Structure 1
């Protein structure tokens, strides 16, 4: 969810500004020269920070490249952790993800489209995103297990977590392909359509 920087201590505001500057510079440079065409040294020089400052903000070069991707998923997990589950769990996951997407700051749309297009040009980034989303899926499963009093090995939790990620991927892919046309509402409408198709898909027969 978006954060009001003014509510943060000065030191945290500085860290956040540095993180944003690195992510913005990375997306611009990677877009111009390709992910493999930009070294970490070039990136930190562009932002005028040290490597140690970079590694305090991001664990690796891949992570700074997918900051827009990480924003939606980290906010989604936080929203889910703070949510009281009162109905059908898939609907709760849908609502948490939809509310998260709606609440992201306006500039996120353009950054996300650029990030996804970049990811498709770099195998290392594609692999990193898959690894990152796998970690998010595990967090969602653990969260659900705790809230529902179920074992984290319960296959239903795994299926639900994966279905949510898949619904996002299907709707987001089409939105990115069209350059974010229709804005945030088009993405949210597509997400609703993807979730709505799940029950019908399960009942589909030849």
Structure 2
């Protein structure tokens, strides 16, 4: 189980720290059990029995069995939304969004890269998990778009924040997919370099034309 070790965690009231420990225990057990036995083959009863909590405690912590399975994904985008909320935008917005994302990845727990790789590999084995993750990512894109529109004081219906939100998640997906395929080879630093490269490729991709062939 991941330990509650960050300064932010230690500053929380005892009750909140206990909730966080329970959440991490459930997520860690879910990832391990779903990987070993299969997502569909592992029942919620088996999961809560291993962690020694009730089903009601589980549903106070996660909205669904699928949510516990993709906690590493949720951690990433929850942290991203918080960082975006607290960040004062200046300059090229897409560059700012890339910098925020890299900063978030840098600040995640030491065991997050391994958990993320395991999570993405698990998702590929279960169509229900893949669908749940896609739904979660679409919701994140909308929240990013809404937050950008608010920060930039853009009118309702302006498509630019939605485009930027989807470019951000797409660049992440491309970078992370290749990294996951290697089993996370090169660690967090290689992932960050891949994210940088994916974002750098966006302008050239938009300018690609048949005439140049490049």
Q: TM-score, normalised by structure 1?
A: 0.97
Match of 1:125 among 121, 124, 129: 129
* 1:194 to partner: Cα distance: 0.1
Q: How does 1:169-184 map to 2 (within 5 A)?
A: 169-184=173-188
Matched, 1:202 2:202: no
Please say if residues 141 and 152 of structure 1, whose CA atoms lie closer than 8 Å, have aligned partners that are also in contact. Answer: no
Match of 1:186 among 187, 190, 197: 190
* 1:149 to partner: Cα distance: 0.6
Structure 1 SS opposite 2:77: helix
- Point out the structure with the larger helix share: 1
* 1:116 to partner: Cα distance: 0.1
* Residue 19 (structure 1) aligns with: 23
Q: TM-score, normalised by structure 2?
A: 0.94
* 1:146 to partner: Cα distance: 0.7
Which sections of structure 1, spanning at least 5 residues, go unmatched? none
Which sections of structure 2, spanning at least 5 residues, go unmatched? 1-5
2:15 & 2:45 partners in 1: Cα distance?
Answer: 24
Please say if residues 22 and 43 of structure 1, whose CA atoms lie closer than 8 Å, have aligned partners that are also in contact. Answer: yes
1:74 & 1:3 partners in 2: Cα distance?
Answer: 18
Name the count of aligned residue pairs: 205
Cα-to-partner distance string for 1:2-48 (whole Å, 9 max, x where unaligned): 66321110000000000000000000000001100101111000100
* Residue 3 (structure 2) aligns with: none
1:8 & 1:148 partners in 2: Cα distance?
Answer: 32
